[in-house]
Amino acid sequence: MAKRKIITIDENKCNGCGACIPNCPEGAIQIIDEKARLISDIFCDGLGACLGHCPEGAISIEEREAEIYDEKKVMENVVKQGKNTILAHLNHLKDHGETTYLNQALEYLRDHDITIDFDHQKKNTFHPEGCPGAQTIDFRNEKTPNQKNKNSQNSQLRQWPIQMHLISPNASYFQKSDLLLAADCVAYSLGNFHNNYLTNRTLAIACPKLDTNREIYLQKLISLIDDAQINTLTVITMQVPCCQGLLVMAKNALKQAERTIPIKHVMVNIKGEIQKEEWI
Protein backbone atom coordinates (compact mmCIF):
# COMPACT_ATOMS: atom_id res chain seq x y z
CA MET A 1 0.00 0.00 0.00
CA ALA A 2 1.13 3.56 -0.71
CA LYS A 3 -0.43 6.99 -0.77
CA ARG A 4 -0.91 7.89 -4.42
CA LYS A 5 -3.27 9.46 -6.93
CA ILE A 6 -6.18 7.26 -7.99
CA ILE A 7 -9.65 7.84 -9.43
CA THR A 8 -12.74 8.12 -7.26
CA ILE A 9 -16.31 7.78 -8.55
CA ASP A 10 -19.20 9.72 -7.01
CA GLU A 11 -21.99 7.14 -6.88
CA ASN A 12 -24.64 9.83 -6.50
CA LYS A 13 -23.61 11.49 -9.78
CA CYS A 14 -22.95 8.32 -11.81
CA ASN A 15 -25.87 7.29 -14.03
CA GLY A 16 -24.25 4.06 -15.23
CA CYS A 17 -23.94 5.20 -18.86
CA GLY A 18 -20.56 3.49 -19.25
CA ALA A 19 -18.93 6.30 -21.27
CA CYS A 20 -15.86 6.06 -19.04
CA ILE A 21 -15.18 2.38 -19.73
CA PRO A 22 -13.83 2.58 -23.32
CA ASN A 23 -11.52 5.35 -22.15
CA CYS A 24 -9.95 3.18 -19.46
CA PRO A 25 -7.88 0.68 -21.45
CA GLU A 26 -6.33 -0.52 -18.20
CA GLY A 27 -9.66 -2.19 -17.30
CA ALA A 28 -9.96 -0.51 -13.91
CA ILE A 29 -13.66 0.42 -14.34
CA GLN A 30 -16.69 -1.82 -14.78
CA ILE A 31 -20.44 -1.24 -14.58
CA ILE A 32 -21.74 -3.10 -11.54
CA ASP A 33 -25.29 -2.67 -10.20
CA GLU A 34 -25.86 0.07 -12.78
CA LYS A 35 -22.97 2.16 -11.46
CA ALA A 36 -19.36 2.61 -12.63
CA ARG A 37 -17.03 1.00 -10.11
CA LEU A 38 -13.26 0.95 -9.64
CA ILE A 39 -12.76 -2.81 -9.53
CA SER A 40 -9.13 -2.85 -8.39
CA ASP A 41 -6.54 -0.29 -7.31
CA ILE A 42 -3.75 -2.15 -9.11
CA PHE A 43 -5.38 -1.45 -12.51
CA CYS A 44 -5.71 2.33 -11.99
CA ASP A 45 -2.61 4.39 -12.80
CA GLY A 46 -4.20 7.58 -11.49
CA LEU A 47 -3.42 9.52 -14.67
CA GLY A 48 -7.09 10.20 -15.41
CA ALA A 49 -7.70 9.09 -19.01
CA CYS A 50 -11.36 8.61 -18.07
CA LEU A 51 -11.88 12.06 -16.55
CA GLY A 52 -13.06 13.98 -19.57
CA HIS A 53 -15.52 11.35 -20.75
CA CYS A 54 -18.05 11.29 -17.88
CA PRO A 55 -21.06 13.44 -18.86
CA GLU A 56 -22.07 13.74 -15.20
CA GLY A 57 -18.66 14.74 -13.86
CA ALA A 58 -18.74 11.79 -11.46
CA ILE A 59 -15.06 10.87 -11.79
CA SER A 60 -12.24 12.77 -10.14
CA ILE A 61 -8.71 12.14 -8.86
CA GLU A 62 -8.00 11.78 -5.16
CA GLU A 63 -4.90 10.91 -3.16
CA ARG A 64 -5.27 8.04 -0.71
CA GLU A 65 -3.74 4.77 0.45
CA ALA A 66 -4.04 2.34 -2.46
CA GLU A 67 -2.50 -0.82 -3.82
CA ILE A 68 0.55 -0.20 -6.02
CA TYR A 69 -0.26 0.00 -9.73
CA ASP A 70 0.86 -3.17 -11.55
CA GLU A 71 1.68 -2.66 -15.24
CA LYS A 72 2.04 -6.35 -16.08
CA LYS A 73 -1.38 -7.21 -14.66
CA VAL A 74 -2.82 -4.27 -16.55
CA MET A 75 -1.30 -5.54 -19.79
CA GLU A 76 -3.02 -8.88 -19.27
CA ASN A 77 -6.32 -6.99 -19.45
CA VAL A 78 -5.29 -4.66 -22.24
CA VAL A 79 -4.13 -7.28 -24.76
CA LYS A 80 -7.49 -9.07 -24.53
CA GLN A 81 -9.15 -5.95 -25.95
CA GLY A 82 -7.18 -5.85 -29.21
CA LYS A 83 -4.52 -3.74 -30.89
CA ASN A 84 -6.41 -0.44 -30.80
CA THR A 85 -6.75 -0.68 -27.03
CA ILE A 86 -3.08 -1.63 -26.70
CA LEU A 87 -2.10 1.45 -28.71
CA ALA A 88 -4.39 3.65 -26.62
CA HIS A 89 -2.75 2.38 -23.46
CA LEU A 90 0.81 2.82 -24.77
CA ASN A 91 0.08 6.36 -25.95
CA HIS A 92 -1.56 7.10 -22.60
CA LEU A 93 1.64 6.17 -20.78
CA LYS A 94 3.87 7.99 -23.26
CA ASP A 95 1.83 11.21 -23.15
CA HIS A 96 2.15 11.31 -19.37
CA GLY A 97 5.90 10.68 -19.40
CA GLU A 98 5.56 7.34 -17.59
CA THR A 99 8.70 5.86 -19.12
CA THR A 100 9.12 3.04 -16.61
CA TYR A 101 5.55 1.75 -17.07
CA LEU A 102 5.82 2.17 -20.84
CA ASN A 103 9.00 0.08 -20.95
CA GLN A 104 7.30 -2.58 -18.82
CA ALA A 105 4.35 -2.64 -21.23
CA LEU A 106 6.62 -2.95 -24.28
CA GLU A 107 8.58 -5.70 -22.55
CA TYR A 108 5.33 -7.58 -21.91
CA LEU A 109 4.45 -7.35 -25.60
CA ARG A 110 7.89 -8.61 -26.62
CA ASP A 111 7.72 -11.50 -24.15
CA HIS A 112 4.35 -12.55 -25.57
CA ASP A 113 5.35 -12.07 -29.24
CA ILE A 114 2.77 -9.33 -29.80
CA THR A 115 3.74 -6.88 -32.56
CA ILE A 116 2.35 -3.34 -32.42
CA ASP A 117 3.16 -0.42 -34.73
CA PHE A 118 4.06 2.05 -31.99
CA ASP A 119 6.60 4.86 -32.12
CA HIS A 120 7.77 5.40 -28.55
CA GLN A 121 10.32 8.01 -29.73
CA LYS A 122 7.68 10.42 -31.02
CA LYS A 123 7.41 13.59 -28.96
CA ASN A 124 4.85 13.60 -26.14
CA THR A 125 1.53 15.36 -26.59
CA PHE A 126 -0.97 16.24 -23.90
CA HIS A 127 -4.38 14.66 -23.68
CA PRO A 128 -7.04 17.39 -23.67
CA GLU A 129 -8.75 16.09 -20.55
CA GLY A 130 -7.57 16.95 -17.06
CA CYS A 131 -5.23 19.73 -15.97
CA PRO A 132 -2.06 19.93 -18.11
CA GLY A 133 -0.23 21.54 -15.21
CA ALA A 134 -0.56 18.35 -13.14
CA GLN A 135 0.35 15.82 -15.84
CA THR A 136 3.72 14.15 -15.40
CA ILE A 137 6.31 14.87 -18.09
CA ASP A 138 9.82 13.43 -18.15
CA PHE A 139 12.48 15.70 -19.72
CA ARG A 140 15.50 13.50 -19.03
CA ASN A 141 15.84 12.02 -22.51
CA GLU A 142 15.30 15.27 -24.38
CA LYS A 143 18.31 16.91 -25.99
CA THR A 144 19.51 20.18 -24.50
CA PRO A 145 18.22 23.03 -26.67
CA ASN A 146 20.76 25.17 -28.48
CA GLN A 147 21.61 28.39 -26.73
CA LYS A 148 20.88 31.40 -28.94
CA ASN A 149 22.69 33.67 -26.52
CA LYS A 150 26.16 32.55 -25.47
CA ASN A 151 25.57 34.17 -22.07
CA SER A 152 22.29 32.34 -21.44
CA GLN A 153 21.97 29.31 -19.18
CA ASN A 154 20.00 26.20 -20.00
CA SER A 155 17.44 24.94 -17.53
CA GLN A 156 18.43 21.81 -15.63
CA LEU A 157 14.82 20.88 -14.87
CA ARG A 158 14.22 17.18 -15.55
CA GLN A 159 10.49 16.80 -14.96
CA TRP A 160 7.07 18.36 -14.55
CA PRO A 161 5.22 19.06 -12.24
CA ILE A 162 7.39 20.29 -9.38
CA GLN A 163 5.00 21.67 -6.74
CA MET A 164 4.54 19.25 -3.82
CA HIS A 165 0.74 19.21 -4.11
CA LEU A 166 0.99 18.20 -7.78
CA ILE A 167 3.87 15.71 -7.85
CA SER A 168 3.25 11.97 -7.81
CA PRO A 169 5.80 9.85 -5.90
CA ASN A 170 4.94 7.04 -8.37
CA ALA A 171 6.25 9.00 -11.37
CA SER A 172 9.03 7.07 -13.08
CA TYR A 173 11.56 9.92 -12.95
CA PHE A 174 11.57 9.83 -9.14
CA GLN A 175 12.66 6.18 -9.05
CA LYS A 176 16.13 5.93 -7.43
CA SER A 177 16.76 9.62 -8.11
CA ASP A 178 18.51 12.27 -6.04
CA LEU A 179 15.71 14.55 -4.87
CA LEU A 180 16.02 18.29 -4.31
CA LEU A 181 13.35 19.70 -1.98
CA ALA A 182 13.49 23.48 -2.26
CA ALA A 183 11.59 26.27 -0.54
CA ASP A 184 9.76 28.42 -3.09
CA CYS A 185 11.92 31.52 -2.52
CA VAL A 186 15.25 29.76 -2.98
CA ALA A 187 15.35 29.77 -6.78
CA TYR A 188 14.68 33.52 -6.84
CA SER A 189 17.36 34.23 -4.23
CA LEU A 190 20.16 31.82 -5.09
CA GLY A 191 22.23 32.70 -8.15
CA ASN A 192 23.10 29.76 -10.43
CA PHE A 193 20.54 27.57 -8.63
CA HIS A 194 20.14 25.33 -11.68
CA ASN A 195 23.79 24.52 -12.34
CA ASN A 196 24.91 24.27 -8.73
CA TYR A 197 21.98 22.37 -7.20
CA LEU A 198 19.38 21.19 -9.72
CA THR A 199 21.68 19.42 -12.22
CA ASN A 200 20.98 15.65 -12.31
CA ARG A 201 18.34 15.93 -9.56
CA THR A 202 14.57 15.65 -9.50
CA LEU A 203 12.77 18.59 -7.92
CA ALA A 204 9.92 19.33 -5.53
CA ILE A 205 9.11 22.81 -4.25
CA ALA A 206 6.98 23.97 -1.33
CA CYS A 207 6.41 26.84 1.10
CA PRO A 208 6.14 25.56 4.68
CA LYS A 209 4.46 28.80 5.79
CA LEU A 210 1.92 29.67 3.10
CA ASP A 211 0.95 26.31 1.54
CA THR A 212 -2.29 24.73 2.75
CA ASN A 213 -2.88 21.03 3.50
CA ARG A 214 0.82 20.54 4.18
CA GLU A 215 0.16 17.29 6.02
CA ILE A 216 0.06 15.51 2.67
CA TYR A 217 3.67 16.59 2.04
CA LEU A 218 4.91 14.32 4.83
CA GLN A 219 3.18 11.28 3.30
CA LYS A 220 4.60 12.07 -0.12
CA LEU A 221 8.13 12.35 1.25
CA ILE A 222 7.75 9.00 3.03
CA SER A 223 6.52 7.45 -0.23
CA LEU A 224 9.43 8.96 -2.15
CA ILE A 225 11.86 7.42 0.34
CA ASP A 226 10.21 3.99 0.64
CA ASP A 227 8.41 3.44 -2.68
CA ALA A 228 10.39 5.53 -5.18
CA GLN A 229 13.55 4.62 -3.26
CA ILE A 230 15.24 7.97 -3.82
CA ASN A 231 18.98 7.82 -3.19
CA THR A 232 19.49 11.15 -1.42
CA LEU A 233 17.44 14.13 -0.29
CA THR A 234 18.80 17.68 -0.41
CA VAL A 235 16.69 20.28 1.37
CA ILE A 236 17.32 23.95 0.51
CA THR A 237 15.70 26.56 2.72
CA MET A 238 15.93 30.29 3.27
CA GLN A 239 17.47 31.56 6.51
CA VAL A 240 14.15 32.95 7.78
CA PRO A 241 12.69 30.94 10.71
CA CYS A 242 9.41 29.98 9.02
CA CYS A 243 11.32 28.22 6.23
CA GLN A 244 12.89 25.68 8.57
CA GLY A 245 9.60 23.79 8.69
CA LEU A 246 10.62 22.19 5.41
CA LEU A 247 13.70 20.66 7.01
CA VAL A 248 11.65 19.49 10.00
CA MET A 249 9.22 17.83 7.63
CA ALA A 250 12.05 16.02 5.82
CA LYS A 251 13.51 14.79 9.12
CA ASN A 252 10.10 13.53 10.26
CA ALA A 253 9.63 11.70 6.96
CA LEU A 254 12.99 9.98 7.42
CA LYS A 255 12.05 8.94 10.96
CA GLN A 256 8.76 7.41 9.78
CA ALA A 257 10.13 5.82 6.60
CA GLU A 258 11.31 2.22 6.53
CA ARG A 259 14.44 3.11 4.57
CA THR A 260 17.32 5.35 5.64
CA ILE A 261 18.86 7.80 3.18
CA PRO A 262 21.36 10.69 3.51
CA ILE A 263 19.85 14.17 3.94
CA LYS A 264 21.75 17.32 3.11
CA HIS A 265 20.62 20.76 4.30
CA VAL A 266 21.56 23.96 2.49
CA MET A 267 20.56 27.32 3.99
CA VAL A 268 20.45 30.49 1.90
CA ASN A 269 20.36 33.97 3.47
CA ILE A 270 18.13 36.76 2.19
CA LYS A 271 21.01 38.17 0.12
CA GLY A 272 21.23 34.93 -1.86
CA GLU A 273 24.39 33.66 -0.19
CA ILE A 274 24.99 30.15 1.14
CA GLN A 275 24.81 30.42 4.92
CA LYS A 276 25.59 26.77 5.63
CA GLU A 277 25.68 23.41 3.89
CA GLU A 278 25.81 20.16 5.83
CA TRP A 279 24.86 16.48 5.77
CA ILE A 280 22.50 15.47 8.56
For 214-239, the pLDDT digits (tens) are 888 998 999 999 999 999 999 999 99
**Domains 2-111 and 157-279 are alike in CATH topology:** no
- pTM for this prediction: 0.57
- Could you tell me which CATH number the domain at 2-111 has? 3.30.70.20
pLDDT band at 143 (very low <50, low <70, confident <90, very high): low
Q: What is the mean pLDDT of residues 50-67?
A: 83
Asked if the model's pLDDT at residue 111 lies above 60, the reply is yes
Q: Is the Cβ–Cβ distance between 41 and 33 less than 8 Å? A: no
CA distance 121 to 22: 26
Return the top range by mean pLDDT from 12-16, 46-50, 79-83. 12-16
pLDDT value at 128 more than 50: no
Q: What is the CATH number of domain 157-279?
A: 3.40.50
Break the chain into its structural domains and give their ranges. Answer: 2-111, 157-279
